[in-house]
Structure 1
Amino acid sequence: MTFVESIKTCFSKYATFSGRASLSEFWWFFLFLVIGSIVTSVIHEKLSWVFTLATLLPSFAVGARRLHDTDRSGWLQLIGIIPLIGFLILLYFYAQASKSPNRFDAVTVP
Protein backbone atom coordinates (compact mmCIF):
# COMPACT_ATOMS: atom_id res chain seq x y z
CA MET A 1 0.00 0.00 0.00
CA THR A 2 1.35 3.42 -0.94
CA PHE A 3 1.41 6.59 1.14
CA VAL A 4 -1.60 8.13 -0.62
CA GLU A 5 -3.59 4.86 -0.64
CA SER A 6 -3.02 4.53 3.08
CA ILE A 7 -4.33 8.02 3.82
CA LYS A 8 -7.37 7.48 1.59
CA THR A 9 -8.11 4.14 3.25
CA CYS A 10 -7.79 5.49 6.76
CA PHE A 11 -10.06 8.46 6.06
CA SER A 12 -12.59 6.30 4.20
CA LYS A 13 -12.68 4.07 7.30
CA TYR A 14 -12.80 7.16 9.55
CA ALA A 15 -14.43 5.44 12.53
CA THR A 16 -14.28 1.77 11.50
CA PHE A 17 -12.78 -0.20 14.35
CA SER A 18 -13.52 -3.62 12.86
CA GLY A 19 -11.36 -5.42 10.35
CA ARG A 20 -7.62 -5.38 9.87
CA ALA A 21 -4.92 -2.90 8.83
CA SER A 22 -1.66 -3.95 7.22
CA LEU A 23 1.74 -2.83 8.43
CA SER A 24 2.12 -0.43 5.51
CA GLU A 25 -1.34 1.08 5.99
CA PHE A 26 -0.65 1.80 9.66
CA TRP A 27 2.89 3.14 9.31
CA TRP A 28 2.17 5.31 6.27
CA PHE A 29 -0.77 6.87 8.13
CA PHE A 30 1.44 7.31 11.20
CA LEU A 31 3.99 9.15 9.03
CA PHE A 32 1.20 11.34 7.64
CA LEU A 33 0.14 12.23 11.19
CA VAL A 34 3.68 13.15 12.21
CA ILE A 35 4.31 15.28 9.10
CA GLY A 36 0.87 16.89 9.37
CA SER A 37 1.41 17.73 13.04
CA ILE A 38 4.80 19.30 12.37
CA VAL A 39 3.57 21.35 9.39
CA THR A 40 0.41 22.59 11.11
CA SER A 41 2.25 23.50 14.32
CA VAL A 42 4.75 25.56 12.31
CA ILE A 43 1.91 27.39 10.57
CA HIS A 44 -0.28 28.06 13.61
CA GLU A 45 -0.96 26.50 17.01
CA LYS A 46 -4.75 26.53 16.58
CA LEU A 47 -4.43 24.84 13.19
CA SER A 48 -2.38 22.14 14.86
CA TRP A 49 -5.20 21.55 17.37
CA VAL A 50 -7.74 21.33 14.55
CA PHE A 51 -5.56 18.80 12.70
CA THR A 52 -5.11 16.74 15.86
CA LEU A 53 -8.84 16.69 16.60
CA ALA A 54 -9.70 15.84 12.98
CA THR A 55 -7.30 12.88 12.91
CA LEU A 56 -7.82 11.58 16.45
CA LEU A 57 -10.64 9.14 15.65
CA PRO A 58 -9.07 7.71 12.48
CA SER A 59 -5.76 7.22 14.31
CA PHE A 60 -7.48 5.21 17.05
CA ALA A 61 -9.41 3.25 14.41
CA VAL A 62 -6.33 2.32 12.38
CA GLY A 63 -4.52 1.44 15.61
CA ALA A 64 -7.33 -0.93 16.59
CA ARG A 65 -7.35 -2.49 13.13
CA ARG A 66 -3.56 -2.91 13.28
CA LEU A 67 -3.84 -4.70 16.62
CA HIS A 68 -6.56 -6.90 15.11
CA ASP A 69 -4.12 -7.82 12.34
CA THR A 70 -1.74 -9.13 15.01
CA ASP A 71 -4.64 -11.04 16.66
CA ARG A 72 -4.99 -8.67 19.61
CA SER A 73 -7.93 -6.64 20.86
CA GLY A 74 -8.12 -2.98 19.89
CA TRP A 75 -8.70 -2.18 23.55
CA LEU A 76 -4.99 -2.79 24.13
CA GLN A 77 -4.46 0.78 22.93
CA LEU A 78 -5.38 1.77 26.48
CA ILE A 79 -1.93 0.52 27.50
CA GLY A 80 -0.71 3.79 25.97
CA ILE A 81 -2.04 5.59 29.05
CA ILE A 82 0.93 4.23 31.02
CA PRO A 83 3.72 6.78 30.56
CA LEU A 84 6.60 5.68 28.29
CA ILE A 85 6.30 1.92 28.95
CA GLY A 86 2.79 1.80 27.47
CA PHE A 87 3.95 3.63 24.34
CA LEU A 88 6.89 1.24 23.91
CA ILE A 89 4.65 -1.81 24.34
CA LEU A 90 2.25 -0.46 21.71
CA LEU A 91 5.12 0.18 19.31
CA TYR A 92 6.20 -3.43 19.75
CA PHE A 93 2.66 -4.68 19.06
CA TYR A 94 2.20 -2.40 16.03
CA ALA A 95 5.50 -3.52 14.48
CA GLN A 96 4.75 -7.24 14.64
CA ALA A 97 3.94 -9.24 11.53
CA SER A 98 0.38 -10.08 10.56
CA LYS A 99 -1.13 -13.28 11.90
CA SER A 100 -3.40 -14.96 9.43
CA PRO A 101 -5.93 -16.41 9.82
CA ASN A 102 -7.09 -14.97 13.12
CA ARG A 103 -10.30 -14.23 15.00
CA PHE A 104 -10.67 -10.82 13.32
CA ASP A 105 -10.84 -12.13 9.76
CA ALA A 106 -13.99 -11.20 7.90
CA VAL A 107 -16.63 -13.87 8.11
CA THR A 108 -17.96 -14.77 4.68
CA VAL A 109 -21.59 -15.76 4.33
CA PRO A 110 -22.23 -18.51 1.74
Structure 2
Amino acid sequence: MLACSKCGQRIPDSERYCPYCRHMKNVPLPIDSYELGFIENFIHCAVRKYADFEGRASRGEYWRFILMYLLIVSIILFVCAFLSSFTTVSGTTGVGLGLVALVVLSIGFVIPGIAVAVRRLHDIGWAGWFVLVGLIPFVGVPIMLILMALPGKSAANRFGAPTGTTIITKQMAHKYGFFDTTPSNVLTMSLVISLIVLWILVDHMLVT
Protein backbone atom coordinates (compact mmCIF):
# COMPACT_ATOMS: atom_id res chain seq x y z
CA MET A 1 0.00 0.00 0.00
CA LEU A 2 1.18 3.50 -0.85
CA ALA A 3 1.09 6.41 1.57
CA CYS A 4 -1.12 9.37 0.67
CA SER A 5 1.01 12.34 -0.41
CA LYS A 6 -1.40 14.69 1.38
CA CYS A 7 -2.30 13.13 4.75
CA GLY A 8 0.24 10.30 4.97
CA GLN A 9 -2.33 7.55 5.55
CA ARG A 10 -2.00 4.23 3.76
CA ILE A 11 -4.09 3.80 0.61
CA PRO A 12 -5.17 0.25 -0.34
CA ASP A 13 -3.95 -0.84 -3.77
CA SER A 14 -7.53 -1.27 -4.96
CA GLU A 15 -8.49 2.32 -4.11
CA ARG A 16 -8.05 5.31 -6.41
CA TYR A 17 -8.52 7.89 -3.66
CA CYS A 18 -7.32 8.15 -0.08
CA PRO A 19 -10.19 6.93 2.14
CA TYR A 20 -9.26 9.53 4.75
CA CYS A 21 -8.84 12.80 2.84
CA ARG A 22 -10.13 11.82 -0.66
CA HIS A 23 -6.83 12.84 -2.25
CA MET A 24 -5.94 10.98 -5.45
CA LYS A 25 -3.33 8.29 -5.07
CA ASN A 26 0.10 9.14 -6.53
CA VAL A 27 -0.82 12.78 -7.24
CA PRO A 28 1.95 15.02 -5.83
CA LEU A 29 -0.07 18.25 -5.54
CA PRO A 30 -3.43 18.84 -3.83
CA ILE A 31 -6.21 17.90 -6.24
CA ASP A 32 -7.53 21.49 -6.17
CA SER A 33 -4.28 22.64 -7.75
CA TYR A 34 -5.09 20.94 -11.04
CA GLU A 35 -7.22 22.25 -13.89
CA LEU A 36 -9.29 19.08 -14.11
CA GLY A 37 -10.87 17.69 -17.25
CA PHE A 38 -14.63 17.42 -17.71
CA ILE A 39 -15.04 13.91 -16.29
CA GLU A 40 -12.56 14.29 -13.45
CA ASN A 41 -13.94 17.71 -12.55
CA PHE A 42 -17.51 16.41 -12.47
CA ILE A 43 -16.50 13.60 -10.11
CA HIS A 44 -14.53 16.10 -8.05
CA CYS A 45 -17.53 18.41 -7.57
CA ALA A 46 -20.28 15.80 -7.37
CA VAL A 47 -18.51 13.22 -5.20
CA ARG A 48 -15.34 14.40 -3.49
CA LYS A 49 -16.75 17.86 -2.76
CA TYR A 50 -20.42 16.95 -2.64
CA ALA A 51 -21.21 19.23 0.32
CA ASP A 52 -17.96 21.17 0.60
CA PHE A 53 -18.73 24.86 1.10
CA GLU A 54 -15.17 25.77 2.07
CA GLY A 55 -12.33 26.96 -0.12
CA ARG A 56 -12.45 28.21 -3.68
CA ALA A 57 -13.48 27.04 -7.15
CA SER A 58 -12.06 28.43 -10.37
CA ARG A 59 -14.21 29.44 -13.31
CA GLY A 60 -13.16 26.26 -15.07
CA GLU A 61 -14.24 24.07 -12.17
CA TYR A 62 -17.66 25.71 -11.96
CA TRP A 63 -18.50 25.89 -15.65
CA ARG A 64 -17.22 22.40 -16.47
CA PHE A 65 -19.45 21.04 -13.74
CA ILE A 66 -22.42 22.96 -15.13
CA LEU A 67 -21.71 21.86 -18.71
CA MET A 68 -21.47 18.20 -17.69
CA TYR A 69 -24.70 18.49 -15.71
CA LEU A 70 -26.45 20.05 -18.71
CA LEU A 71 -25.03 17.31 -20.94
CA ILE A 72 -26.51 14.62 -18.70
CA VAL A 73 -29.87 16.42 -18.68
CA SER A 74 -29.76 16.78 -22.46
CA ILE A 75 -28.97 13.10 -22.97
CA ILE A 76 -31.87 12.08 -20.71
CA LEU A 77 -34.25 14.34 -22.64
CA PHE A 78 -32.92 13.08 -25.97
CA VAL A 79 -33.37 9.43 -25.00
CA CYS A 80 -36.92 10.05 -23.78
CA ALA A 81 -37.81 12.05 -26.89
CA PHE A 82 -36.29 9.34 -29.11
CA LEU A 83 -38.26 6.61 -27.36
CA SER A 84 -41.46 8.61 -27.74
CA SER A 85 -40.88 9.39 -31.42
CA PHE A 86 -39.33 6.25 -32.88
CA THR A 87 -40.44 3.36 -30.67
CA THR A 88 -43.70 1.93 -29.37
CA VAL A 89 -43.31 3.86 -26.13
CA SER A 90 -46.09 6.44 -25.95
CA GLY A 91 -45.31 10.13 -25.76
CA THR A 92 -46.85 10.37 -22.32
CA THR A 93 -44.74 7.50 -21.01
CA GLY A 94 -41.57 8.92 -22.53
CA VAL A 95 -42.16 12.37 -21.09
CA GLY A 96 -43.09 10.85 -17.74
CA LEU A 97 -39.89 8.82 -17.57
CA GLY A 98 -37.90 11.89 -18.51
CA LEU A 99 -39.52 14.00 -15.82
CA VAL A 100 -38.92 11.38 -13.14
CA ALA A 101 -35.27 11.05 -14.16
CA LEU A 102 -34.79 14.83 -14.20
CA VAL A 103 -36.42 15.28 -10.80
CA VAL A 104 -34.20 12.61 -9.26
CA LEU A 105 -31.13 14.10 -10.95
CA SER A 106 -32.00 17.62 -9.85
CA ILE A 107 -32.52 16.58 -6.23
CA GLY A 108 -29.22 14.72 -6.22
CA PHE A 109 -27.29 17.69 -7.58
CA VAL A 110 -28.83 20.50 -5.54
CA ILE A 111 -26.21 20.31 -2.79
CA PRO A 112 -23.08 19.98 -4.98
CA GLY A 113 -24.47 22.67 -7.29
CA ILE A 114 -24.87 25.12 -4.43
CA ALA A 115 -21.52 24.09 -2.95
CA VAL A 116 -19.56 24.76 -6.14
CA ALA A 117 -21.38 28.09 -6.57
CA VAL A 118 -20.41 29.10 -3.03
CA ARG A 119 -16.78 28.16 -3.69
CA ARG A 120 -16.91 30.13 -6.96
CA LEU A 121 -18.08 33.19 -5.02
CA HIS A 122 -15.21 32.64 -2.60
CA ASP A 123 -12.86 32.63 -5.58
CA ILE A 124 -13.85 36.19 -6.50
CA GLY A 125 -13.65 37.27 -2.86
CA TRP A 126 -17.37 37.27 -2.08
CA ALA A 127 -19.05 35.59 0.88
CA GLY A 128 -20.92 32.39 0.10
CA TRP A 129 -24.28 33.67 1.27
CA PHE A 130 -24.44 35.84 -1.86
CA VAL A 131 -25.60 32.65 -3.58
CA LEU A 132 -29.04 33.59 -2.24
CA VAL A 133 -29.08 36.40 -4.80
CA GLY A 134 -30.06 33.73 -7.30
CA LEU A 135 -33.44 33.46 -5.60
CA ILE A 136 -34.41 37.05 -6.47
CA PRO A 137 -37.14 36.88 -9.15
CA PHE A 138 -36.19 37.89 -12.70
CA VAL A 139 -32.78 39.42 -11.91
CA GLY A 140 -31.28 36.82 -9.57
CA VAL A 141 -30.17 34.30 -12.19
CA PRO A 142 -28.60 36.89 -14.57
CA ILE A 143 -26.69 38.41 -11.65
CA MET A 144 -25.41 34.99 -10.59
CA LEU A 145 -24.33 34.18 -14.14
CA ILE A 146 -22.30 37.38 -14.22
CA LEU A 147 -20.72 36.62 -10.84
CA MET A 148 -19.89 33.06 -11.88
CA ALA A 149 -18.14 34.41 -14.99
CA LEU A 150 -15.90 36.88 -13.16
CA PRO A 151 -12.19 35.98 -12.91
CA GLY A 152 -10.97 34.78 -9.54
CA LYS A 153 -8.31 36.43 -7.44
CA SER A 154 -4.86 35.35 -8.61
CA ALA A 155 -3.47 35.42 -5.07
CA ALA A 156 -4.68 33.75 -1.90
CA ASN A 157 -7.64 35.46 -0.23
CA ARG A 158 -9.50 34.90 3.03
CA PHE A 159 -11.03 31.72 1.60
CA GLY A 160 -7.76 30.09 0.62
CA ALA A 161 -5.38 29.69 -2.28
CA PRO A 162 -6.52 29.82 -5.92
CA THR A 163 -7.45 26.52 -7.55
CA GLY A 164 -6.94 25.06 -11.00
CA THR A 165 -3.46 26.49 -11.52
CA THR A 166 -1.76 23.38 -12.95
CA ILE A 167 -2.57 22.10 -16.44
CA ILE A 168 -2.97 18.32 -16.81
CA THR A 169 -1.17 16.95 -19.86
CA LYS A 170 -1.68 13.51 -21.41
CA GLN A 171 1.53 12.33 -19.78
CA MET A 172 0.37 13.53 -16.35
CA ALA A 173 -3.07 11.99 -16.81
CA HIS A 174 -1.48 8.64 -17.62
CA LYS A 175 1.07 8.86 -14.81
CA TYR A 176 -1.25 9.98 -12.04
CA GLY A 177 -4.45 8.25 -13.12
CA PHE A 178 -6.63 11.20 -14.12
CA PHE A 179 -9.62 10.27 -16.28
CA ASP A 180 -8.95 13.09 -18.73
CA THR A 181 -6.70 16.06 -19.40
CA THR A 182 -7.33 19.77 -19.04
CA PRO A 183 -9.79 20.50 -21.87
CA SER A 184 -8.84 22.86 -24.66
CA ASN A 185 -11.03 25.75 -25.76
CA VAL A 186 -11.89 23.76 -28.88
CA LEU A 187 -13.15 20.82 -26.82
CA THR A 188 -15.16 23.14 -24.59
CA MET A 189 -16.79 24.84 -27.57
CA SER A 190 -17.49 21.44 -29.12
CA LEU A 191 -19.35 20.41 -25.98
CA VAL A 192 -21.37 23.63 -26.01
CA ILE A 193 -22.28 23.07 -29.67
CA SER A 194 -23.23 19.47 -28.91
CA LEU A 195 -25.56 20.67 -26.17
CA ILE A 196 -27.23 23.11 -28.55
CA VAL A 197 -27.66 20.40 -31.20
CA LEU A 198 -29.12 17.99 -28.64
CA TRP A 199 -31.64 20.58 -27.47
CA ILE A 200 -32.65 21.33 -31.07
CA LEU A 201 -33.15 17.61 -31.78
CA VAL A 202 -35.16 17.14 -28.58
CA ASP A 203 -37.36 20.11 -29.41
CA HIS A 204 -37.90 18.83 -32.96
CA MET A 205 -38.81 15.31 -31.84
CA LEU A 206 -41.18 16.49 -29.12
CA VAL A 207 -42.95 18.94 -31.43
CA THR A 208 -43.37 16.44 -34.25
Where does 1:1-110 land on structure 2 (aligned, <5 Å)?
1-11=36-46, 12-42=48-78, 43=80, 44-99=98-153, 100-105=155-160
Helix, strand or coil: the match of 1:49? helix
> May I ask how many residue pairs the two structures share in their alignment?
106
Q: Which amino acid aligns with 1:10?
A: C
CA deviation digits over 1:36-93, x for unaligned, max 9? 2222344321011111111111000000001001110111111111123111111111
Q: Distance in 1 between matches of 2:77 and 2:102?
A: 5
Runs (4+) off by over 3 Å: none
RMSD of the alignment, in Å? 1.3
Q: Distance in 2 between matches of 1:41 and 1:49?
A: 12
Task: Kindly indicate whether the alpha-carbon contact (under 8 Å) linking 1:17 and 1:64 is maintained by their aligned counterparts in 2.
Answer: yes
Task: Kindly indicate whether the alpha-carbon contact (under 8 Å) linking 1:79 and 1:86 is maintained by their aligned counterparts in 2.
Answer: yes
Q: TM-score, normalised by structure 2?
A: 0.49
Q: Distance in 2 between matches of 1:98 and 1:33?
A: 22
Task: Kindly indicate whether the alpha-carbon contact (under 8 Å) linking 1:67 and 1:93 is maintained by their aligned counterparts in 2.
Answer: yes
Helix, strand or coil: the match of 2:67? helix
Q: Structure 1: which 5+ runs fail to align? A: none
Task: Kindly indicate whether the alpha-carbon contact (under 8 Å) linking 1:2 and 1:24 is maintained by their aligned counterparts in 2.
Answer: no
Task: Kindly indicate whether the alpha-carbon contact (under 8 Å) linking 1:7 and 1:29 is maintained by their aligned counterparts in 2.
Answer: yes
Task: Kindly indicate whether the alpha-carbon contact (under 8 Å) linking 1:23 and 1:95 is maintained by their aligned counterparts in 2.
Answer: yes
